[in-house]
Structure formats: structure tokens, C-alpha cells
Amino acid sequence: MTKEELKLISTDQEYWDACVIKTWRNFGSTLDAMIMFHGITGKKLDEIDPPLLRSPINTWWKMGIRIFVNQRLSKIHNWLINKPPEKDVLLLKKLKNSKYDTEQDTIRDNELSNEMARVYTNRKRVGMNALNYSNRNQKTDWRVTK
């Protein structure tokens, strides 16, 4: 973003969207976007009332911005992947009046939890089989010296 483009921005939400896009283009983290936003506005994300749309919750600040945008802002991710950086201003204009927010429950979350449950169950089965196998050998009298 150039200084002229940043002069067109007037609200905290627009600043936040610009920080997300710029950090996404620079392969930063969500923390980098938060630091950039704090440097521009002098405010922290959790200090703003009402809360900003498209902002991460407390546990997401360590994650890379590309992962965050891909998982929670899929429409913005698709735009950024398919469009050159010159179209970022157009995206900011579209987001200006948008109520689009982070997607909380995605299909991937359900699939991940189901797969984790399957892995846990399989580990328990393997552990039980190993335990049964070791117990089977204890029934013999091989350790007795005559």
C-alpha cells in the first residue's frame, strides 16, 4: 500500500483489513499484522469497541497470516491467491461495506477432530494388542531354571 492509498482509509476496520492484506503479501504472522495495526492507529485489537470483523481471537496470534486467512477467511484467501497485488485496493473497497467475518466452524475442523479420534482409538487398539501379546508369553514357564 502506498501512502496515498492509506490516506483513503478512515476507519479502524479499514486499517485492519489493509494490515491483513499487506502482511499476507509479505508472508508475515497475525502478530505482525497486529503490530502493524497498533503502529498505525495506536490501538490494540482487543481495545476496540465494537470488535473488528475479520480479526483473530487470542489463540490465533501465533499463527501465520496465510494460514489464518486460508482457514478463517476463505473468500479473501481466494481473492489474494487469484489476483495480483495491484488489485488489493479493489479488495479493500469491497471489504469496506462488507459484513464478512471469520468462519468459526469449518468442515475441516470436524474432519480433523474425527481423524484425531480415529488415531486415538487405533493407538489404544495397538497398545491392547501389544499388552495381550506380552501377557501371552507370561503364561509359559520359560523362566524357571531346573
pLDDT digits (tens, 9 = 90+) for 22-45: 999 999 999 999 999 999 889 888
Q: Which residues contact 32 (CB under 8 A, 6 or more apart)?
A: 23, 26, 65
pLDDT for the residue numbered 80:
92
Burial bucket for residue 3 (CB in 10 Å: 0-12, 13-18, 19+): exposed
Gap between the Cα atoms of 69 and 17, Å rounded: 11
Confidence of residue 18 (pLDDT cuts 50, 70, 90): very high
Tell me the whole-structure pTM to 2 decimals.
Answer: 0.65
Please report the pLDDT score of residue 106 as a whole number. Answer: 52
Please report the pLDDT score of residue 17 as a whole number. Answer: 92
**Residue bearing the bigger pLDDT, 17 or 9:** 17
Tens digit of each residue's pLDDT (9 = 90 or more) over 49-100? 888 888 887 766 678 898 888 888 888 999 999 999 999 989 998 988 888 8
Q: Give residue 140's pLDDT band: very low, low, confident or very high (50, 70, 90).
A: low
